[in-house]
Amino acid sequence: MNQPKECPRSLVIERIFPHPQEKLWRALTDSALLAQWMMSNDFEPAVGKKFQFRAEPAPNWNGIVDCEVVLVDPIEHLSYNWGTGGPSSGLQWVVDFTLTPTMGGTHVRMEQSGFGPDQLAAYNGANYGWHKMLGGLERVLDAGITATA
Amino acid sequence: MQAAANNVFRALADPTRRSIFEELTRQGEQTVHALTRYAGVSQPAVSKHLTVLKRAKLVRHRREGRETHYQAQPDALTPMVNWLDQYGAFWRERFDRLESLLERME
């Protein structure tokens, strides 16, 4: 391939759910409800709270996601760190949910960014021309994944 | 495949390595000297970064006389893209489950 390939920075998934924003917020932040669509967990909507998602172990994955709540802004914005493979792997993600009321429902945007928040800040800065290479995949995934209910 | 993706993620998690890799995709083949000038860090540091990039198969090198030339291998990003595709499938499936949960909720 002669053209530089775009390096993905984040994964964005958006969907409009025909339900009120408050209900979405509950589904995202009530541990018992969260378990019904994500994974079993000990989540609490408190900044700094460390919690885990637990699923069936899979090849290359022990089934555990180590998380820490980063932001709770009812009923609009929720983010947590998302670490797989234990502290040694150094693989840290940030999962970020934004809820926006729309006609007849709620628009949910999930962004999973790589490289951890420090690095994100670094390459969002003007020091690196990296952002010029980015965004392509995000657009592709947006187009492919966005679906309205 | 996930191991390959992890190597790529980890290699690119460092801003200096990322900028070296980016410089290589922009400028084509470069010597360690040129990359050192570009990166503004010591040559041993640049060599270390290049070793990590090499391990992730993001760069390839060849020796010519005393100089080592490095070249970006952008196709090495593929495991990372595939891995994100898998995560995309994961979230889509979770969103489907969220949708049916919402139907059942008060």
Measure the CA–CA gap between A125 and A138, rounded to whole angstroms: 19
Residue of B16, B101, B103, B106 to mutate, interface with A, max A Cβ within 10 Å: B101
Q: Copy the structure tokens of residue B84.
A: 């994100």
Give φ, ψ of A24 to 5 degrees. Answer: -60, -45
Q: Please return the burial class of A43, using the count of CB atoms within 10 Å of its CB with bins 0-12, 13-18 and 19+.
A: buried
B28 touches chain A (CB under 8 A): no
Domain span at A109: 10-148
The SS3 call for residue B39 is helix
CA B96 to chain A, closest CA, distance in angstroms equals 8
Residue B18: partners with Cβ closer than 8 Å, 6 or more residues away? A7, A123, A128, A130, B12
CB spacing of B74 vs A123 below 8 angstroms: no
Q: Is residue A1 part of a domain?
A: no
- The torsion defined by the Cα of A109, A112, A117 and A120, in degrees rounded to 10, comes to -90
Other CB atoms within a 10 A radius of the CB of residue A136 amount to 13
> For chain A, how many structural domains are there in total?
1
Across B82-89, average pLDDT = 77
Residue-range domain boundaries for chain B = 2-104
CB spacing of B99 vs A17 below 8 angstroms: yes
- Cα torsion B10, A138, A62, A38: sign: positive
The per-residue pLDDT for A131 is: 34
Q: Is residue A136 part of a domain?
A: yes
Q: Strands A64-73 and A77-84: what pairing?
A: antiparallel
pLDDT greater than 60 at residue A132: no
The per-residue pLDDT for A2 is: 35
Q: Is residue A32 part of a domain?
A: yes
Strands of chain A, DSSP E: 10-17, 40-41, 50-54, 64-73, 77-84, 92-102, 105-113, 147-148
CA gyration radius, chain A:
17
State the CATH number of the domain containing residue A22: 3.30.530.20
Strand order in B59-64's β-sheet?
B30-31, B67-72, B59-64
Give φ, ψ of A45 to 5 degrees. Answer: -80, 65
Nearest by CB to B98, from A7, A37, A61: name it: A37
Across A21-47, average pLDDT = 96
What's the pTM?
Answer: 0.68
| Segment A42-81, tens digit of pLDDT | 999 999 999 999 988 877 678 889 999 999 999 999 999 9
The per-residue pLDDT for A1 is: 35
Q: Is residue A115 part of a domain?
A: yes
Span B2-104 CATH architecture: Orthogonal Bundle (1.10)
- Looking at chain B from residue 75 to 94, which residues have their Cβ under 8 Å from any Cβ of chain A? 75, 77, 80-81, 84, 87-88, 91-92, 94
Measure the CA–CA gap between B28 and A79, rounded to whole angstroms: 38
pLDDT greater than 60 at residue A135: no
Share of chain A above pLDDT 70, in %: 64
